Amino acid sequence: MKLHEEIDERLREFILSQPMFFVATAPSDVDGHVNVSPKGLAGSLAVLGPHRVAYADYGGSGAETIAHLRDNGRIVLMFCAFTGPPNIVRLHGHGRVHLPPDPGFGPLMAAIGEQAGAEPLPGLRTVIEVEVNRVTDSCGYAVPFMTYEQDRDLLPQFWSRKSPDQTVEYWTKRNATSIDGLPAVDPGSIPPPAG
């Protein structure tokens, strides 16, 4: 394993070329559940500086990352090379959740969109910003070769079929708390998407 002072240009290129990454968080309570989530969708992540990244967080069946970040802020992002030379990059840091009404939400989404050259997809819930305090890469010798075909379009399709009221209802039922009961998404704090 090699410890880096920052996300340099080589690491930035590697990170942005991966079609998916993993996010891990944990609650403060030692009996709480650790969470690891795969993240995909092209253009959803941006490297904003040598110690800063952000990604678009789309609504899903849970909200563990949001709950854990509100609890203690600890987060790690992991990027694996499934093609080319083996490599694993981990970005440890402190994460912040930005809801659509927050002042940082718009500028962060603009930065993500500008870097990725893409507009946000239906179902955008929050933006997760990470102040990175530890950057490492390691061999990845056991990571298999896999071929990327394309992003699935099921999540954007799912959200595009929901009205603003149905979206708020979904967030209320599925995203209000973590599996350990920690507060996550307060549907009242997020304006419903334009219908």
With CA atoms as reference, report the closest residue to 77 among 61, 64, 89, 67: 89
What is the C-alpha separation between 68 and 33, in angstroms, rounded?
10
147-194 pLDDT tens trace: 999 999 999 999 999 998 899 899 999 999 999 999 999 877 777 666
Handedness of CA 103, 62, 58, 56 (dihedral sign): positive
Residue 30 pLDDT greater than 60, yes or no = yes
Contact between 170 and 59 under an 8 Å Cβ cutoff? The reply is yes
| Mean pLDDT computed over 76-94 | 98
pLDDT of residue 145: 98
pLDDT of residue 174: 94
pLDDT of residue 192: 67
pLDDT of residue 189: 77
Q: How many C-alpha atoms does 162 have within 13 Å on its Cβ side?
A: 20
Residue 31 pLDDT greater than 60, yes or no = yes
What is the C-alpha separation between 179 and 62, in angstroms, rounded?
8
**H helix intervals, 18-63:** none
pLDDT of residue 117: 81
With CA atoms as reference, report the closest residue to 174 among 66, 58, 62: 62
Domains of the chain: 2-189 (2.30.110.10)
